[in-house]
Structure 1
Amino acid sequence: MLKRVFVAPDPGRLRLRSATRSVLGIGLAVAVCGLVGHSLAAAITGGLAALLALFTVTDATVRDQARTTALLPAIGFPVLAVAAGLHDYPLARDAAFLAVVGTGVYARRWGPRGHALGVFAFMMFFATQFLHTVPGQLPELYAAVALSVLCSSTVRFGLWCYERRLPVAIAPAPPGGSRLARTTTRQAIQAVAGGAFALAVGQVLSHERWYWAVGATWWVFVNTASRGETLVRSFRRALGTVIGVALGLVIAVPLHGAAIPTAVLVAVCVFGIFYTAAVSYTWMMLAVTLMAGLLYGLLGVLDPALLALRVTETGVGAVGAALAVLLVLPVTTHATTDAWIQRALRCVHACTAEAASRLAGSEAADPAPRVAQLEVLLGRVRMSLAPLVHPLSPLRARRARARQVLALLDDCARQVRGLASIAADPQASHDARLIAACQRVEAAVEALTTPGQAPQMAAIAAPQPPAAEPALVHLHGLERALAELAAPLRSSPRAPLDA
């Protein structure tokens, strides 16, 4: 697990840049809150707002990212007001919290902006429970949130806006549908059901820290789209929390809330959250759990019993999410995985077409944004296949098939990246055979994404003559990978693969 985090590819050092910039943005926000005289509770709320602004806003363009960031306080302020106003009315507070849970998940249907606003709304409600916020504190919290979002935005869009120099990667929306067939609709209902279970059981365990269970259920649903993904995420969340609590006992408890070392360790945790989020949910949750323990130390309420309760409440939340996805309008892993694979394959074709046009002399063609989008889509494919390739999965045939699909899609991505890099070279020559090769790639994608096209794959799989032209080498490699994908994608998921 440790090797996976530090050996995982980091093209353009994006994870390193994001983590470093986030530490600077959040650190600036908290420092400014302290300089203007905000209380510790307000500084924590502001730091959380800055973290969310940097972590959840993933729109395709810098302009859209700035617009979404500007909308965060407009969503967060009313939620803060409702949560604080209902502090002394448990039944109304619980109902409002579950409404925020369902609305936040449902908002994912509107893409990255809906996702970011939904997460921000939930976390603002969560923060009021964490800090026991009352209406009299709202003006200070509003000022801290607005100031912190402004500070983090100054770093993100002003001092260090590296996105302007990078290809745009459009974050993919969840698979569509209508009414109850829509993934976001089903997941919103599941999240409310799981949240209700977590809330009820969590309050039996603790009248003060019950919100941990609801938070565990909520974050299990974030960025998942199927039953299998949610179950795997539940397991990883619980594992990360257990390890984080163990570290908290060794690190956070002995500090007794000492300001300077706690601040340094919180900064390390923030870096860990952003650096590991894309490659390991377990490690990200470890960092989140340790950071929460350190913050409780600053508030003067941290002890081993509190950390033990954190583990129990997290387990309740994970169980609530698991029961919800198994029993309430389940979304099958196979259907979700197939949708993401098809989108990735269509993107392969689009990358190839752009590269070929660029090699043909078209200055308007640019494969780089498509390549970036392909990386994002392959990330979603890996996430959707995670339940099948998990070492504990009992479905051996499906596990072998899923691993083969991932390996071949990774091969496609390598060939596409190589083709794009050649196309970016102004000295690259155009070979007339590129047109025929691109047509074969198009035919291969059509055969893989259109029902009833499997018999045509034999023609696609025919070996191509050796090519000295580098672009043709990549195209032929791409053809071979697409041809080999026919077997695992077109045969029964439960049938054994040929040796």
Structure 2
Amino acid sequence: MLKRVFVAPDPGRVRLRFAVRAVLGIGLAVVGCGLAGHSLVGAVTGGLAALLALFTVTDSTVRGQAVTTALLPVVGLPVLAVAAELHERPLARDLAFLAVVGAGVYARRWGPRGHSLGVFAFMTYFVAQFLQATPRHLPELYAALLLSLLVAAGVRFGLWCYERRLPPAPVPAAPGGTGLSRVTTRQAVQATAGAGFALVVGQLVSGERWYWAVGATWWVFVNTTSRGETLVRGFRRVLGTVIGIGLGLLVAVPVAGAPVPSAVVLAICVFGIFYTAAVSYTWMMLWVTILAELLYGLLGVLEPALLALRLAETAVGALGAVLAVLFVLPVTTHATTDAWIQRALRCVHAATAEAAARLAGSPTADPAPRVAELEQLLARVRLSVAPLVHPLNPMLSRKNRARRVLALLDDCAREIRGLVAVAADPEASHDARLAAACWRVEAAVEALTGNTPDEPAVPATHTTAAEPALAHLHGLERALAELAAPLRTPSGSPLVGA
């Protein structure tokens, strides 16, 4: 696990910049709240608002990110008002919380913006429970939230907008459908059911910190689609919490709310959350747990018994998510995995076609965006296949097949990157072998996705400059041919079970 986090590739140091900018933006937001005269409660609200604005907004363009950031208070302020107004009415408060959960998950059908706004709405309600907010706190909380979002936006879009120098990051949309066949609709029902279980059992465990269980259920569902993904994420959340609590006993408890040491460790935690989120959910949860412990230390309520309670509530929330995905409108791992693999294969074909057109001299062909899209799709494939390659998976045959599929898809991505790198060579234009090899790649993809292409007629011309591109195309052919075996066994069974 250490190797995965610290040796994981970071092209362009994007994760590093992401984490450093977060520390800067959140730190400035908290300082701004302090200079504005806000209390510790206001500073905590502001810091968490800035964290969410910098963490959850993932639109593919800078303009889209700015629009989503501007919309955050549109959903956050009303939710905060509802949470504060219902604080003294438990039944109405709980029902409203479940409504926010369902609506927040359902909003994912509108892509990254819907996801960001849904997360912000949920976390705003959650923070109100965390801080025991009442109507008298609203003016200060409103001011702190707006000020912090403004500061975070200033850092993200003004002081340090490194995305302007990067190509837009394609964000694969979730599988579509209508009604209950739509994944986001099913997940909204599942998350609401799981949160309902967590809310009831969490209150039996603790009438004061029950919201931890609901929060655990919510975050288990974030960025997952199938029941397998959700089960693995639930396990990783509990594991990260356990490790975080252990480290908290060594770090947060001795600090005991001292301002300067707490501020230093909080900055480290923020960096850790942002730097590890893309590569390890367990590590991210470790940092989140320590951060929460430090906040409780600043609020003067941290003690070992509270840490044990957090672990219990996290386990309740994870259990609620597990029961929901197993018994409420389950989305099978096979259906989700197959959909992402099919999309990745079609992207391989599209990237090959764009590269071939570029090699043939087309001035409009640009395979680079397809390469970026393929990387995003492969990340989704890895997430979907994670339950199969998990160390606790007892089905060795399927585990080995899944690992083989991932390795071959990585081979495809490597060959596509190489092909694109040589596609700008004008001397390789109009080589018949390139056209024929591209057709064979197309045929291999279509065979794996269930279609049959028409073979084109090509002129018999050869050029020496085409050799590097041909090598990558032949590598693609081999990888695609080898994918047929692990994707479908001789009996026709799928990669994963239903």
Give the shorter-chain TM-score range: over 0.9
Q: How far 1:149 moved relative to its partner? A: 1.1
Residues 114-193 of structure 1: matches in 2 within 5 Å? 114-193=114-193
User: Alpha-carbon deviation of 1:355?
Assistant: 2.1
Q: Which residue is 1:460 aligned to?
A: none
Which aligned pairs between 1:276-315 and structure 2 lie closer than 5 A?
Answer: 276-315=276-315
| Counterpart in the other structure of 1:353 | 353
**CA spacing shift, 1:29–1:495, aligned 2, 3 Å:** closer
Instruction: Tell me the secondary structure at the aligned position of residue 447 of structure 1.
Output: helix
Paired amino acid for 1:481: A
Letter in structure 1 aligned against 2:469 = A
Q: Hey, what does 1:109 align to over in structure 2?
A: 109
| In 1, Cα distance between equivalents of 2:106 and 2:403 | 31
After superposition, give the CA deviation of every residue in 1:470-495 in whole Å (9 maximum; x if it has no partner).
11111111111111111112325769
Residue aligned with 1:442, SS: helix
Task: Tell me if structure 1 keeps the 8 A contact 2:437–2:473.
Answer: yes
- Report the AA paired with residue 172 of structure 1: P
Quote the Cα distance in structure 1 between the aligned partners of 2:70 and 2:474.
47
Amino acid at match of 2:398: R
Deviation of 1:275 after TM superposition, in Å, equals: 0.8
Aligned length: 485
- Residues in 1 aligned to 2:349 and 2:143: alpha-carbon distance in whole angstroms: 49
Q: How far is 1:496 from its partner?
A: 10
Distance 2:381 2:362 in 1: 31
Question: Distance in 2 between the 1:429 and 1:266 partners?
Answer: 55
Does structure 1 conserve the Cα–Cα contact (< 8 Å) formed by 2:429 and 2:466?
no
Question: Do 2:359 and 2:426's aligned partners in 1 also have CA atoms closer than 8 Å?
Answer: no
- The answer to whether structure 1 residue 255 and structure 2 residue 251 are counterparts is no
Partner of 1:209 in structure 2? 209
Which residue matches 2:367?
Answer: 367
CA RMSD of aligned residues (A): 1.9
1:487 aligned to 2:485? yes
Q: Residue 363 of structure 2: SS of its match in structure 1? A: coil
Structure 1 segment 39-438 matched on structure 2, within 5 A: 39-423=39-423, 425=424, 429-430=428-429, 432=431, 433-438=433-438
**1:478 matched residue in structure 2:** 476
TM-score by length of 1: 0.94
Number of the residue aligned with 2:457: none
Tell me the secondary structure at the aligned position of residue 469 of structure 1: helix
Q: Distance in 2 between matches of 1:359 and 1:378?
A: 25
The Cα shift of 1:306 comes to 0.5
- Asked if the contact 1:397–1:496 (Cα under 8 Å) also holds between the matched residues in 2, the reply is no
Q: Is the 8 A contact 1:220 1:237 kept in 2?
A: yes
In structure 2, do the counterparts of structure 1 residues 59 and 214 end up closer, same or farther at CA, with 3 Å as the change threshold?
same
Cα distance, 1:188 vs structure 2: 0.7
Select the residue among 467, 470, 488 that pairs with 1:469.
467
For structure 1, the residue ranges without an aligned partner over 5 or more in a row are: 457-465
Query: Contact conserved, 1:401 with 1:493, CA < 8 A, in 2?
Result: no
Q: What is the CA–CA distance in structure 1 between the aligned matches of 2:9 and 2:347, rounded to whole Å?
A: 21
When normalised by structure 2's length, the TM-score is 0.94
Corresponding residue for residue 459 of structure 1: none
- Structure 1 counterpart SS, 2:224: coil
Shift of 1:273: 0.7
Residue pair 1:26, 1:152 contacting (<8 A) in 2 also:
yes
Q: Please tell me the residue identity of whatever aligns with 2:30.
A: V
Could you tell me how far 1:314 is from its partner in structure 2?
A: 0.1
CA–CA distance in 2 between the matches of 1:427 and 1:47?
Answer: 53
Query: CA 1:399/1:493 → structure 2, altered by over 3 Å: closer, same or farther?
Result: farther
- C-alpha distance in 2 between matches for 1:450 and 1:442: 12
CA contact (8 A) 1:398 1:493 kept: no
C-alpha contact (below 8 Å) 2:487/2:495 kept by paired residues: no
Contact 1:80–1:128 (CA<8 Å) still a contact in 2? yes
8 Å CA contact 2:428–2:466 kept in 1: the answer is: no
Letter of the 1:342 partner, please give it. Q
1:116-163 per-residue CA deviation (whole Å, 9 max, x = no partner) reads 000000000000000001111111111111111111111111122121
The answer to which of 438-447 and 179-188 deviates more is 438-447
Q: Is the 8 A contact 2:488 2:495 kept in 1?
A: no
Query: How big is each residue's C-alpha offset from its partner over 1:410-464, in whole Å with a ceiling of 9 and x where there is no partner?
Result: 00111111122223x567643513222222222221111126x69x9xxxxxxxx
